[in-house]
Amino acid sequence: MDQSVITSYNEAKKLYAAHGIDVDAVLDKLAEVKVSLHCWQGDDVRGFLFRDKELSGGIAVTGSYPGRARTPRELRDDLEKALSLIPGKHRVNLHAIYADTDEKVDLDELEPRHFQKWVDWAKEQGLALDFNPTYFSHPKAEDGFTLSHPDEEIRRFWIRHGKASRRIAEHFGRELGQTCYTNFWMPDGYKDAPVDRLAPRQRLADSLDEIFEEQIDERYNIDGVESKLFGIGSESYVVGSHEFYLGYGLTRGKAITLDAGHFHPTEVISNKLSSVLLFGKQLILHVSRPVRWDSDHVVTMDDELLEIARELVRGDLLPRTSLGLDFFDGSINHLAAWIIGTRNTIKALLRAMLEPVDKLRQIERDGDFTSRLALTEEFKSYPFGAVWDYYCAKQNVPVREEWLSEVKNHERDVLLKREGGAKETVNS
Ligand code: RNT
Ligand code: ZN
């Protein structure tokens, strides 16, 4: 390891030790944290089942950066490369449309075997898998409704898809020996103000109840439900609102999924974690970054990311939280997006773990808000960067921005060679 990395680390350690923080112990704890990398950043949310289908569901990818993965093999290669530049052991989050099969199979007919290649790969790589049924980019989702559809036949199709998805997830959990988190998000909603807000919500609740009827061992699969405030084309009403899923999840024992980009612009999820986990068992996080209408920018080291990390650490919520990412940026290198977002998420947790929480808690209980503000502000410039560099070196991944040249080389040697094929599909 580079001597200067070690020297800076030792200096930093002394400063933290003065506040009773054992940095080596913090790094052991940090190494336990797994982030679920969302496969859909690798190919602009296209998937492999319906390659010609436009992305729908009120979500959008902008940008046409070259080199997105066009096959499951390419996507796995890219994930491997990205994961090799991120410290720690992590998870991969799949969507149903990423099935790896030559069969022509519809969403309601999917079976575990259509994902066996993903499972074999995950085993070989020592990764866990998470799962999502796909309630968009499909002819039966074109009018914006799925599980709350008024047409019984369409609604039943989507119920079958939900059931099939849970069986796939159970298979992941069983095969990989790590619980799979299955996240249910559907875009259902109206562009304009509805007359009847209740009936679609009643149908959604009924559909979900039916999907969850089958008992699945929670060692293998845990289901979560994700709300949203609005989407493109569902500006006035989303069936699965926050209140809907908070009520649904808590009464049905399901995990609540909070996406950082799914709330009012001044509303933050960091302030919700302690309440949700006070009453609920499990949380799934979609760490994302909202920018105006778009909820899906690459995660940066902003105040909200830091606050989410602090909440998870201070409240000891990590053991009950599945920490995943959810953004899709088609305007930059697809691997870099994963790497930046994941490294930032881990780095934010490190920063949170390097705060003298017990001392700060005591100061707050004593009512000394002057010291609380003074110390939390001073800690913002404590040398966490030296600890982060050491952690990366210790985990055998590039220190600081060294990873960028590896990504650039990979782009030149691998991604740009895909360009012809990628363009063809983009234009089709
Ligand atoms: C959409 C939700 C959802 C999706 C993924 C692709 O607004 O955030 O989680 O981004 O399922
Ligand atoms: Zn999300």
Q: Cβ(352)–Cβ(304) under 8 Å?
A: no
Main-chain dihedrals φ then ψ at residue 351, nearest 5 degrees: -60, -40
In this structure, the residues whose C-beta lies within 6 A of any atom of ligand 1 are 40, 45, 59, 132, 185, 226, 228, 259, 286, 326
Q: Cβ(128)–Cβ(88) under 8 Å?
A: no
CA distances from 356 to 18, 140, 151, 250, 349 (A): 10, 52, 56, 33, 14
Q: Which ligand is nearest to the CA of 294?
A: 1
Distance 2 CA to ligand 1 centre (A): 41
Distance 219 CA to ligand 2 centre (A): 23
Distance 227 CA to ligand 2 centre (A): 8
Distance 113 CA to ligand 1 centre (A): 24
**Does pTM top 0.75 for this prediction?**
yes
Closest protein CA for atom 1 of ligand 1: 59
Question: Would strands 289-291 and 294-297 be described as parallel, antiparallel, or unpaired?
Answer: antiparallel
Task: From the CA of 134, give the closest atom in ligand 1.
Answer: 11
Q: Which ligand is nearest to the CA of 287?
A: 2
Listed in sequence order, the residues at least 6 apart from 316 whose beta carbon sits closer than 8 Å to its beta carbon are none
The catalytic position among 259, 311, 329, 389 is 259
The DSSP annotation for 230-258 comes to: --TT-SSEESS-HHHHHHHHHHHTPEEEE
The catalytic position among 294, 304, 329, 355 is 294
Query: Can you give the length of the chain in residues?
Result: 428
- List domains and CATH numbers for the chain: 22-353+398-417 (3.20.20.150)
Q: Cβ(300)–Cβ(329) under 8 Å?
A: no
Q: Cβ(240)–Cβ(58) under 8 Å?
A: no
Q: Cβ(386)–Cβ(9) under 8 Å?
A: yes
Distance 18 CA to ligand 1 centre (A): 43
CB atoms within 10 A of CB 218: 13
Task: From the CA of 228, give the closest atom in ligand 1.
Answer: 7
User: Between the CA atoms of 228, 233, 234 and 240, what dihedral angle is there, to the nearest 10 degrees?
Assistant: -50
The catalytic position among 44, 74, 223, 296 is 296
pLDDT tens for the chain, 428 residues long, are 899 999 999 999 999 999 999 999 999 999 999 999 999 999 999 999 998 888 988 888 999 999 999 999 999 999 999 999 999 999 999 999 999 999 999 999 999 999 999 999 999 999 999 999 999 999 999 999 999 999 999 999 999 999 999 999 999 999 999 999 999 999 999 999 999 999 999 999 999 999 999 999 999 999 999 999 999 999 999 999 999 999 999 999 999 999 999 999 999 999 999 999 999 999 999 999 999 877 899 999 999 999 999 999 999 999 999 999 999 999 999 999 999 999 999 999 999 999 999 999 999 999 999 999 999 999 999 999 999 999 999 999 999 999 999 999 999 999 999 965 444 443 33
326 classed as catalytic: yes
Q: Where are the alpha helices (H) located in 177-215, listed in sequence order?
A: 198-211
Amino acid at 386: A
CB atoms within 10 A of CB 21: 20
